[in-house]
Each structure stands twice: as structure tokens, then as C-alpha cells.
Structure 1
Amino acid sequence: MSKDLIGICDLTHTATGSYATNLMPYPIASIKSYLMHFSENKDDFEVKIFKDPKKFIEWYLSNKPKIVGFSNYVWNKELSCELAREIKSKDPDTLIIFGGPNFPLDDPSREKWLKQHTEVDLYIIGEAEESFTKIIDIWHKTHDLNTIKTTDVIGCFAIVNDKLFKSSEFSPRIPKLDSIPSPYLEGYLDEFLSDSKLSPLLESNRGCPFTCTFCVDGIKDRSRVYYKEVSRFEKELEYIATHYEGKVLTLADLNFGMYNQDIEISNAIANIKEKFNYPYYIQVSTGKNNKPKVLKCAEILKGSMSLAASVQSLDKEVLTKIKRKNIQEDQLLDMTKAGNKMSANTYSEVILALPGDSKEKHMDTVLKLADSDMNLISMYQCMILEGSEMGSKSSRDQWKMGTKFRVLPKCYGVYNFDGKEILCAEIEEICVTTESLPIEDYYECRLFALTEGLFYQDRVLVEMYRFLENFGIKASDVLRQLHKNKEKFSEKLLALYSSFYNDTRTELWDSKDELREFIKSDRTVIDRYYKGELGKNVLFRHRAIAALELSDSIHDEVFKIIEEMLKIKNNQAYLQYKDYLNELKEFSKLRKRNVFDYEKQYESEFNYDFKTLMEKDFEILPQKLEKSVKVRFFTNDEKKLMIKEQIAERGSDVDGIGKILSRTLGSMLLRNVEFENIAYEQSKKEKMVKEIEILEKDVGINQSPGEFV
């Protein structure tokens, strides 16, 4: 007897040769694991999981399964719906199940959504493992769509007799995550572990106690946190380490470091890394208000984990309106300093155009974070998510939010479904105006994001900022002056700002329907997205152009401005350290000049003790050496591997480099520095004596003076 085929899809666009979202399909693999363990009819099913839409289409057309599930996120909704629509047109009796957070919270909007998407038979809200398994067992007994739609399985929504039918709000949560058999240990993700373009995803807990209105995890149903046993987590991580050749791990935990167990998890990760040199870098959202535990986890992981303080805003009125509780500003400063001392990549996130936001509030937040010495400040726009409180009509009306639409970067493609060409792109809705943020202020804030990205992000000028602190000049002072003087920049930088401004204005559409019609109007439109003419991430793209081509120009502009600032603030200090500033500019240039050209090496001579400055993270004033020292700038093998892996996942074009720069890699994208052994810096007479002694002893004849250590 043949088995019933079930396809479960967590699809993502692959138009650019890489995955638009590069995480392994761990969530749907967990659904498969639960189904194959707890289903009453598990021996009668064969389940396939998919990430690549083309592979899924080929499999579907060859096998015609009667059950297909799709995940629904902002980055794959249109793709999932388009393919579901084609399946329904060929075989109306196929059961199509959707799940995921990209679904409205109120019943009138849910009903409208399901009526617009008649290809969807059933929508499961919340954790889907248990509900999906029960639905499959009911289908196995009845093979009847009407029975499925009127099921009493918790968390299921459908249209019945032209009205919304539901059994309850959310599917049941799983309090013991260990009860879900591990998809890694079951081998369900082996094919994805062998794909160098994907990154492993793992969780140690589920849930979020916070209620941020802009986030799909801010709903009450997900407020309680449930955990996985540390021993189980460690077994999964060891399996990944022995089956995966990359170095990056993404944790799905929403507040890592807030809980006691996270310290144990950190120790488990450190143990695996010591044995297998994996993971080299961990992507995770760290806790919002437990500084000591977060710092302890960062200390255990020794720089592998970025230390996040995602504030979104530091304005009290904005935070109240979005129901956000942040770490206190003094604690934020302490945590950032402590994180920097232990070489953890510190970063924060800021969202533009939140309710109550203004140009002054937004810029003040960014500048305060810069003064806290944060390594990376990611500046996002306010995406309106259907599954968030902010996505509701009441919130939009209450906060007078004006929105526009654009295509998500890399989330587009052309797909052949049994001879039919499908033109598809994902569209996001973003807030661009509020009662206190007019549209022109929005555009100015976007320009400020470019200024911050060029002159602060990723510790690009950290040595300079540390020096200026000695004379009372803060990072915020420099950034304000740079942004104020941006129209006086060099021709190349002016062209970059002009391009950024034009792209920012032209990427936005007033109507989602008009944008969708434009995308589907002609194949040549999608071709323009392929070529990068349309649909690029404007900020990341322009930061990438600057990193690849304009690093020297950036240094020239900022050092010109800070010299004038130091003259005004302390002319005596300027005269004393003028020569040092010239050397510092050269030293900084060589560390950061197109670091993606990782085989390129530079060598130069310096008269200041940069070795000691680096050891003290430039927190001391410079001292001049008695004699100049040669310095070599290069990329070590570990960083080369990291960069190669990122390029393999995201591409080597400008958009791929921009995506890499959007990640919290921080100091990993600086060249290594090697100093000439100062012991060899002796007078000519001393050198001659030393060489004679060596010859007499007949040792070390081939050793060259000035050899690097």
C-alpha cells in the first residue's frame, strides 16, 4: 500500500542565486518530527520538506500530493500563495494548510484575508506541531475538505458558508520543547546542512514576555517562555557541528541571556566550540533587561556572540505608545563598555517612524547610542506586520500612521509551474509619516542613517572616536557636524548621497495593488529586479558601495572635520597630536580598505606606538616611538573563512556585500595587524654587532632583521 505524500514548505526566493532568507527550515522540520512521532497514522505518511521553490514545484508535479502546507511570513507570502493557487487550479481537492505569524489578529481582518485567498483551506495560528498533526489524522480518516474546515482542532481558521469559522484563538503551546523529537537528530535536515548557502537555526526556548506592538511575538499568547533541556540542545549542536562545514549559528531565542538556563546553554555552546571549532559566530537577539546575565553569557562565549541592546527608541513617549520596556540608559552604557572590553560585538536597533516619533527623537536616540560606544547601530524602518498589534486598523487610526509600499530586497522571482510563468515579488508596508513626523523629515532621517552607516557603523572609525574622547569631543558631536556638512563632501561622496536620496524616494509606492500590477505586468519588470535596477536595499547597497570603493574618501572627510573641531576645542592638543592624526588616518585606512579583497596586504611605517594602542583598545593617548616600526595589514585564515562563507551565502555583488554588512560582524571585518619585532629596531652599529655574533655562533643565518612576529 502506497503512503500518503505530504509536502511542507518554508519557501524563500532564490532569484539572485542565493536564498533571500538563508536559515534552514527548522520550524517546519519540527512539525514533521512531531507528526512522524505522535500521529495515529504515522506509518501511512511520507513527508517532504522544502526551502527551494523550484525543487518543490518539480516534486509536486511529479508526485501530486494531496496535502501541502506553507509557512507564511512577510518574505514569502506572495510566493506561497501563488503556488497554492496553481495547485488548487489543477487539483481542487488538495488540502492546503497555511501557518505562520503573517496573519491578522482580529476576526474581521482574518475573514477578509481568507476570502481574498481562496486557495487556503485552513490557517493554523501559533505553534503548529500539535494542531497540524491532528488535522492530518482527521484528513487520513475522512479525506473531506468540509470536515477539515469545520474541525474543532484548536487554533484553526477557515471560511465556511461565507463566514469565518474558528475553534479558538491560538493553537496549543508545547510546554516541554523536548517532547518534539529533534529534526536534526532525526536526520530531517541533513540535506540542508550540506547546503553551504544555508545557515543552521536552533532554539533553546520559545516565547517572549514583552508586548511590543510592532512585533508579531508581542501578543499575550506567546508571553510565557518554555525551555528545552540543555543536554538535548548540546546534542543537537554537536550534530550540527559534525555535519555542517560553515561557522555561523542562528538561535531563534527572542531574549537570550535573560534566564538562568541561558548561562548553561552558553557553556554548552562553548564546549562544542572547543571540540569542533563551531560555531565561530552566533546570531541571536539578547535579553532586554537583565544586564548581568547577558554579560555573563557574552563572557562565556568569548566574542562569538554579539551583545544586543535593541532599544528601537530611547524616547519615553514613543516607548509608552509601543508598549516597550527598555534597559535603563545608564545600564546600557555600562553593558556596552563591558561588552567591548570582552570583545563582544555590541549592537543596537532603532526603528524610524514609530508612533510618537519625530526627526529630533529619532536622531537623538541614534546619537546617544553612538556615545555609549555601541559597535553597530542598525537603523530600520517601521514595517507594518499583519500579525502585530500595530498592524491593526485601530492602531493605524490611533497613531495617524501614513504608509507606503516597496518590494523586499531579493524577494522576487520568475517560476515555471507546468508551463505557466509566474511573476512574483514580496511587498512590505512601511510607516513613513506620523502626526509628529512629516514626510520630508522621514527622508532626512533616512539620509542621517547613511551618515551613521558611513562614519560610525562597524567600528569603522573607533580609533578616532576614542582619541577625541580625551578632549571632550563625543561621537555625537562628530556625527552631527558630518551630517551638517554633507553637502560639502567630495564629489564621489556627494554622488553617493544623491543616489541614496533618489533611490529612497523612488522605491516607495502609494498603493500595494498598483505595485503588484506593475510587477506582474511584464517579464522585463522582474528582469530589472534581477539586474539590481529595482528592489535593492537602498541603505545596505550604498554602504556596500562605500565599503568597496570609498573608504579612503570617508577617512579624508572625517579627519578634515575633526581636525577643525579639535582646533576649536583645544588648539594646543591639535598642535601636539597633529602628526599622530595623520598617522592614525593612514593606519585606519589600511585596516579597512575593501576588506572583502581579503588576499590584499598592505605594509607601512609608523612613528607612534600603535601596538600598545591596540592592546588598550585605543583608550589611552598615543606615545611616539624612538624609531619607526613597520606594520603589516592582512586577513587571517579564520576571517577569510568567515568572509568566504558569508559571500557563498549572500553573493559577492554589491547587494550581497550590503547584506553581509547588515549582519552584526563588527570587528570581524577589520584587517589583522602585525608589528615588526621592535627588538630588531637598533642602530646600524648594534645591528652589525648582532649579525657578527650570529655568524660566529653559526645560527639563524637565514633569519632576516625586521621579521614579523
Structure 2
Amino acid sequence: MVKRNSKDSCQIYLADLVHNYASKGPHTFPINIGYVAAYAKKLYSDRVNIKLFKFPSDLIIAIKEKKPDILALSNYTWNLDINSRIISWAKGLHKEIITVFGGPDYPVTYEESADYLKIAKALDFYVLYQGERGFSNIIQRYFESGTLAEMKSRAIENCSFYDRKTNKVAFPKRYNWIEDIGEIPSPYLTGVLDEFFKDNLIPLIETNRGCPYSCTYCAWGKASQKRIFQFPIDRVRDEIEYIAKKIGKISLLMVGDANFGIFERDIKIAEFMKNINKTYGYPKDIFVAWAKANPDRIVKIAKILSNMIGASSSFGSFQTTDPKVMNNIKRTNFSFRDFEKIQNNFIKKNISTSSELILGLPGETKGSHLKGLRKLFDCNTQSIVCYNLRMLGGSELNMAISREEFGIKTKFRLIDGGFGKYEDILSIETEEIALSTSMMNMDEILYFRPIHFLIQFLWNYGYYKEPLFYLKSEGINPVDVIISLIENRKKAPLSIKMILNDFIKESHDEWFDSKEKIFNYYSSPENFENLKKGSFGKLNYKYTYRILLECKNDFDEYLYDILHDILEARGVKISGIKEELNDLFNYTRNVFVDFKDFFNNRTKDKIIRFKYDILAWKKQYNQKALGEFKSPGIKLKFVLSKEQRQVLKKLCSQFEGVDLNQTLRKMSEYINEKDLFNKVSYL
């Protein structure tokens, strides 16, 4: 048993780790550990010496150079493996180091938390929910105790731990919240996070903390006990301005609220953002997760922020449209009437936003998920983001009793970019996904994989949104076009047939029965070397850029033929609309940024003649047919603006990968999609 000699001071390493081995991001500021550090400094001042870390190598080097007294890591689904390996390694070097985890990825029940702690042999304490008070209580106990055994001799408020000596688990029956979170000093305004401005990280702020909903697939509401705590509004404004003054290459600001727009004051916060942008040129793009209620307020906020809102900002995230599924997951959604009203309002104002569906939720069927996709297209939803159900620690659905009730069976796959070798530590991150339930088998769930991919490529990113909107005016839902593209791929040009077959094969082959099998497979020298070269990535992004970089013209041809066949089968006279289809494809061909030309400095302005006024039609294409906009001889100019070039170059530098495909797919996660397309104007 190691007895400490001095309790006058404490060396603390706090880390919010992400993998940066093969890719530069996108990663955000470690605001979570920033809050914890700022609060600890407020309470203990010079008695604590705190260092913050974002990247594994930096932390490993620091531990080698100087042993911390306490090593504390934020624990999320994307860094579970590297966290576990680092605390095991650190304990091997210095067994007296106190190891701490905090974050949402922790079991809900006493029994399951006990199992978790007994397996995690290198972990000493887990801080629950709000991290600031629980971690400060650990620091206080450290100062009061001479050994780890003494620290565990009685319960620590807001913390859980396992005492191997007594075989007892400490799990609090009640939680002591910081009711006024304004007591937590700002990690930005105190300078705690200043060192991270040099790392090209995306600034992340919270205007409030918590979620009032009980969705069983999510840990957010559970972690806050369905409560919301607000930071002072003047402080929020000061933080945004502070960031704007210090930021370098980054154009994006992420708002970490679960429901932005839930409070009336969020209108003022949007005005702060707009005014600060006018003064400092930042933020250019804003990511928010919209509130699930108050549609009129959301419209007001969106009007203020306008084109600063990225399409990845989710509004009306239904997750399911089936009432039985909603009941199973304890969720209430927007009415479709309100949702469609707001969507059409956003379209008129050229504001980007998205909605979400989750495949594999309890009670969902193949038919109900298809119905949900069709409904969202019918509502003119600008971006439909589809996820597979991911089993998250800390969520009710992850509990053994829930898995059994709904027949949830899972497999594991590698997380894109979630791997690295740091000194002698090899780490590979995995995610656990539901691949069958009592209502859907594995074949039915995997059936949707290429459908979801083509929704993202054709519709969400907008590469073929105009032709699909055109078919909607003929009563043809884009889902049916996408299914036809997949089912008729044998007729496609060879390049497209190969890409679609490769996608389907890879979407079936990426699954493993356990985390251990994934680690064993990818840790072999040959497979790990392939990982480094970018062979694995999020399939939707990877294959989007395979098409754009390898065979865009072939895809144009194939999609044109499929649309032709669908319209003909519906009895539409092709001769009467051939000019319209030709114009639409000519438009989509010229509006997208050709990245091969861009990276080789060959991008030029283009002037193209059309027979229809597509720009005027796009403003009303949910109301009027393209045929009403005939305007022979109209000329449109396609330009990649100076500002866009600067943004793209910054992002390429920030997210540079091992090849162009990897660079583009990492950029795409947070880029404003409008920057992927040329500006179009009348000549």
C-alpha cells in the first residue's frame, strides 16, 4: 500500500481524448474538462496544478515526464478503448496514480454499474452526471487521505467506485446538483482553454445544459434527470465574442445544447451570434440541434441566423414516425403540419436544416421505416439523416432488460478514424449497433444501408436534388427512385455497378461479433497498415467521393436512364419533357465543385445557356412545375467565390488525410454544404 508524503498540492491531468493518428479531425474544444478544471481551480486555487489534454500522444509523453497524482478522462462512446488502455498503462508505470472516468457512458442500474466497475480493474472512481462537483469531491478526499484505500473508506458524493478489498460498490442513492451552473467559471473567459486555439479545433459552447426528454436510446435526459440548467446570458455572449477574437482558421461554432430554441432568450443569443459575426467575421457557420417544440420561435431564430446555419443542424428529428415506436422509446414528436410549415419556410429563405430517423428502434418494421422516409420526402425535408440504432452506455435501451424485451441483437464495427498507435499503446474504437430486433431481421436492416447512402448523396448533399424534386412534381417519391437505382444496378455503367456492389459488400462485411474480434483483426500489421492508408471510413462519405472523384459522368448517365424509365412506366411522354430533364442534368453537372480541378488549380468560371429558368423554379419548386419557367436562351454563371476558395483551403488544411477521399470525407462532416457548390447567378 502506497502512502503519500504530502497533501499540500495535487498534480492533475484531465483529458478529453480523440484519435488523431490518421486524421486531423474534425475535433472540438475539450469544453467538458475545461469546466471541470475551472471549477476545481475556483475551489482549490494553487493547491491544484491542472493540465488539459486532447490527444493521446501528448498525454502519454506528459505521464512519462511527470507522474500525475490524479489522471481523469472524459468517457464517451468514441474513446472508450483508448481511455481503458491508457489508465491500464499508467497504473503499470505508477500504481499510486488515482484514475477517474466521467461522462455519460456508464450503466444506469446498480447491478450493471457494479459489473462495469469490477471489470475495469485499472479504474478507481467514476464521476456521475455533472462532472464538476463530483470530481472536486474526489480532490477533497485525496487531500484528506493517505492511501487509495482511505479514499474508498466511505462514499464520495456524486461518485461511484468499487472497493476490491471489501467487495462493495459505492453507488449514490441521491444526487447533489449544482443548481446555479453560473457558479462554474467559464473555461473560455478564465483562459483555461486558450492553449487549444492553436490546434485547429472547433469551438464548442453550451448556453444551457441538460434535456427535458426521456428518449430511451439516448443518455442526455437520463444524465440530467430531465432537467435543464441555464448559463447566464451575458456570459454566453462574452464567450462567443472571446472566441471570435481569438479564433484562427476555423469558421464553425458548435452549440452543444440538446434543444436550442427551447427558451425565449435563445432569440437574443442568436442575435449575439449575428452581431458578433458582423464585427469579427466569425462564426461563419453554426451547428445547432433544434428544440423539439416552439416552431414559431425556431423560425425567428433561423431567420436571424439565416445562411450561417449548416445543413447538419437537425430540426424536427423524428427518429421514427410510427406511433407505436414512439411509445416504446418514450418520445413525442412535432406534428407533421408544423414540421412541413417550417420546412417550407426554411426553403423560401434558403436556410439549410435536416431531420433524422433511426433504423432499428423497438417496434420499427421494414414497412414503417420506408413509410417514414416517404413522409419526410413528402414534407420537402431538406436533409434526411438516417442512423442505425447505436447502443449507448447510460441509456435505458442499453439495459439488459430492454434488450431482452425488444429482442435487440447487436454486432460491432470500427469507428471511422477511431484508431491509433501511440508509443506502445495500440487502440481501436468500436461501436455496437442493433442489427436485428423482434420486428426486423438483419437482412431487413441491411437492406436500408444503400438506400440511406443514396439519400445522403443525391438529396442531402444536393448533388441531384433538382432532378428528384422534379420527379416529386410528377408524383414520384425519391425513395422509389433510389430503390430503382439499387435494384437495376446490373444495367448501370461498369464503374457505377462496381461502386454500388462494393458498397453493399462492404456494408455487410464491416460487422464483427465482439470488440475483441475487431481488435484482433485490425491490429494485425497488414490490416492496420491499410487502416492508416484510409481503406476504412464512413461508407456514405467514402462512396460519395468515390463517385464524384472517379465516375461522376457515368452516374449522371445512369440516373438519367433510371428517371427516363420511371417516367415512361408512369405513362409520361418523354418527348415532352426531354428538354426539361436535359436542362436539370446540365445544371447539376455544372453547379457542383469539381474537387479534382480545385486541388489542381484548374477551377474556372462557367457560363451555360439553358432553356428553363431553373433558379426561379428552385424558389417555388414545391409549388410550380418546371415547364412554367421556360425561358429559351437564359444564361447562368457558375462561380466558385473567393470566400469559398478560402474556406475550402482552410478545411483541407485542417482535415488533411492520407488521400483526397479521406480529406473530403472528414471535411464533409462539418462543412456548410453550400460551400460544396458553385455560386449561380444570371448573366
Q: Residues of 1 paired with 2:158 and 2:629: CA distance?
A: 69
Name the aligned partner's letter for residue 644 of structure 1: K
- In the alignment, which residue of structure 2 is the partner of 1:504? 507
- In the alignment, which residue of structure 1 is the partner of 2:577? 577
- In the alignment, which residue of structure 1 is the partner of 2:462? 459
Pair 1:38-2:43 in alignment: yes
What is the Cα deviation at residue 363 of structure 1? 2.1
- Kindly report which structure 2 residues correspond to 1:653-668, keeping only aligned pairs within 5 A, or say none: 653-663=660-670, 665-668=672-675
- In the alignment, which residue of structure 2 is the partner of 1:538? 539
1:450-486 per-residue CA deviation (whole Å, 9 max, x = no partner) reads 2323332222223223333443334344334434434
Match of 1:350 among 332, 335, 357: 357
Pair 1:647-2:649 in alignment: no
Q: Residues of 2 paired with 1:170 and 1:273: CA distance?
A: 43
Pair 1:631-2:636 in alignment: yes
Match of 1:238 among 231, 241, 247: 241
Q: Residues of 2 paired with 1:132 and 1:51: CA distance?
A: 19
Name the aligned partner's letter for residue 410 of structure 1: G
1:659-704 per-residue CA deviation (whole Å, 9 max, x = no partner) reads 333447333322111332xxxxxxxxxxxxxxxxxxxxxxxxxxxx
Name the aligned partner's letter for residue 14 of structure 1: N
Contact 2:129 2:223 in 1 (8 A): no
Q: Residues of 2 paired with 1:470 and 1:194: CA distance?
A: 50
What is the Cα deviation at residue 225 of structure 1? 0.7
Match of 2:380 among 373, 376, 389: 373
Q: Residues of 1 paired with 2:279 and 2:266: CA distance?
A: 20
Q: Residues of 1 paired with 2:233 and 2:224: CA distance?
A: 25
What is the Cα deviation at residue 316 of structure 1? 1.5
What is the Cα deviation at residue 168 of structure 1? 1.0
Name the aligned partner's letter for residue 13 of structure 1: H
- Pick which of 201-210 and 131-140 moved more: 131-140
- Pick which of 74-83 and 232-241 moved more: 74-83
- In the alignment, which residue of structure 1 is the partner of 2:209? 206
- In the alignment, which residue of structure 2 is the partner of 1:389? 396
Contact 1:311 1:350 in 2 (8 A): yes
Q: Residues of 2 paired with 1:503 and 1:581: CA distance?
A: 33
Q: Residues of 1 paired with 2:320 and 2:654: CA distance?
A: 31
- In the alignment, which residue of structure 2 is the partner of 1:527? 529
- In the alignment, which residue of structure 2 is the partner of 1:124? 127
Contact 1:104 1:388 in 2 (8 A): yes
Contact 1:150 1:165 in 2 (8 A): no
- In the alignment, which residue of structure 2 is the partner of 1:604? 608
TM-aligned CA distance change 1:136 to 1:531, over 3 Å:
same
Contact 1:371 1:475 in 2 (8 A): no
Q: Residues of 1 paired with 2:374 and 2:630: CA distance?
A: 35
SS at match of 1:363: helix
- In the alignment, which residue of structure 2 is the partner of 1:174? 178
Q: Residues of 2 paired with 1:162 and 1:488: CA distance?
A: 68
1:510-533 per-residue CA deviation (whole Å, 9 max, x = no partner) reads 12232233345x444422221233
TM-aligned CA distance change 1:274 to 1:408, over 3 Å:
same
Name the aligned partner's letter for residue 48 of structure 2: F
Contact 1:544 1:661 in 2 (8 A): no
- In the alignment, which residue of structure 2 is the partner of 1:277? 281
- Kindly report which structure 2 residues correspond to 1:541-556, keeping only aligned pairs within 5 A, or say none: 541-556=542-557
- Pick which of 402-411 and 574-583 moved more: 574-583
Name the aligned partner's letter for residue 529 of structure 2: D
Pair 1:59-2:59 in alignment: no
Count of aligned residue pairs for this structure pair: 665
What is the Cα deviation at residue 81 of structure 1? 1.2
Contact 1:97 1:123 in 2 (8 A): yes
What is the Cα deviation at residue 582 of structure 1? 0.9
What is the Cα deviation at residue 298 of structure 1? 0.7
1:168-213 per-residue CA deviation (whole Å, 9 max, x = no partner) reads 15753322222111111111111211222x1001000011111111
Structure of higher CA gyration radius? 1
What is the Cα deviation at residue 140 of structure 1? 2.0
Match of 1:265 among 266, 269, 276: 269
TM-aligned CA distance change 1:650 to 1:100, over 3 Å:
same
Contact 2:374 2:477 in 1 (8 A): no
- In the alignment, which residue of structure 2 is the partner of 1:413? 420
1:602-621 per-residue CA deviation (whole Å, 9 max, x = no partner) reads 33322333453356568543
- In the alignment, which residue of structure 1 is the partner of 2:3? none
1:375-428 per-residue CA deviation (whole Å, 9 max, x = no partner) reads 221111111112111111001111111111111110111111xxxx22111121
- Structure 1 stretches of 5 or more lacking a match? 677-709
Match of 1:81 among 80, 84, 88: 84
1:114-149 per-residue CA deviation (whole Å, 9 max, x = no partner) reads 111111111111111012112212212324212322
Match of 1:430 among 430, 433, 437: 433
- In the alignment, which residue of structure 1 is the partner of 2:22? 16
- In the alignment, which residue of structure 1 is the partner of 2:11? 5
Contact 1:376 1:664 in 2 (8 A): no
Percent identity between matched residues is: 26
Name the aligned partner's letter for residue 465 of structure 2: V
Q: Residues of 2 paired with 1:67 and 1:53: CA distance?
A: 16
What is the Cα deviation at residue 152 of structure 1? 3.1
- Pick which of 157-166 and 622-631 moved more: 622-631
Match of 2:115 among 108, 112, 116: 112
- Pick which of 617-626 and 43-52 moved more: 617-626
TM-aligned CA distance change 1:378 to 1:662, over 3 Å:
farther
SS at match of 2:121: coil
Contact 2:260 2:266 in 1 (8 A): yes
Q: Residues of 1 paired with 2:666 and 2:245: CA distance?
A: 27
What is the Cα deviation at residue 101 of structure 1? 0.8
What is the Cα deviation at residue 443 of structure 1? 1.7
Name the aligned partner's letter for residue 643 of structure 1: L
Q: Residues of 2 paired with 1:642 and 1:295: CA distance?
A: 27
Pair 1:147-2:150 in alignment: yes
TM-aligned CA distance change 1:518 to 1:558, over 3 Å:
closer
Q: Residues of 1 paired with 2:548 and 2:651: CA distance?
A: 16
Match of 2:167 among 163, 168, 173: 163
- Structure 2 stretches of 5 or more lacking a match? 1-5
- Please give the TM-score of this superposition, normalised by the length of structure 1: 0.89
Name the aligned partner's letter for residue 23 of structure 1: T
- Pick which of 201-210 and 657-666 moved more: 657-666
Q: Residues of 1 paired with 2:576 and 2:253: CA distance?
A: 47
Name the aligned partner's letter for residue 180 of structure 1: I
Name the aligned partner's letter for residue 108 of structure 2: L
Name the aligned partner's letter for residue 50 of structure 1: F
- In the alignment, which residue of structure 2 is the partner of 1:706? none
What is the Cα deviation at residue 570 of structure 1? 6.0
SS at match of 1:558: helix
- Kindly report which structure 2 residues correspond to 1:660-699, keeping only aligned pairs within 5 A, or say none: 660-663=667-670, 665-676=672-683
Q: Residues of 1 paired with 2:438 and 2:622: CA distance?
A: 43
Q: Residues of 1 paired with 2:148 and 2:328: CA distance?
A: 43
Match of 1:194 among 178, 192, 198: 198
1:270-324 per-residue CA deviation (whole Å, 9 max, x = no partner) reads 1211211211111121111221111111111112123522111111122211111
Name the aligned partner's letter for residue 172 of structure 1: N
Q: Residues of 2 paired with 1:611 and 1:110: CA distance?
A: 57
Contact 1:126 1:172 in 2 (8 A): no
SS at match of 1:273: helix
Name the aligned partner's letter for residue 336 of structure 2: E
- In the alignment, which residue of structure 2 is the partner of 1:590? 590
- In the alignment, which residue of structure 2 is the partner of 1:288? 292
1:528-582 per-residue CA deviation (whole Å, 9 max, x = no partner) reads 221233x42222211221233333333322232323434454646x444322321
Q: Residues of 2 paired with 1:559 and 1:284: CA distance?
A: 36
- Please give the TM-score of this superposition, normalised by the length of structure 2: 0.92
SS at match of 2:219: coil
SS at match of 1:325: coil
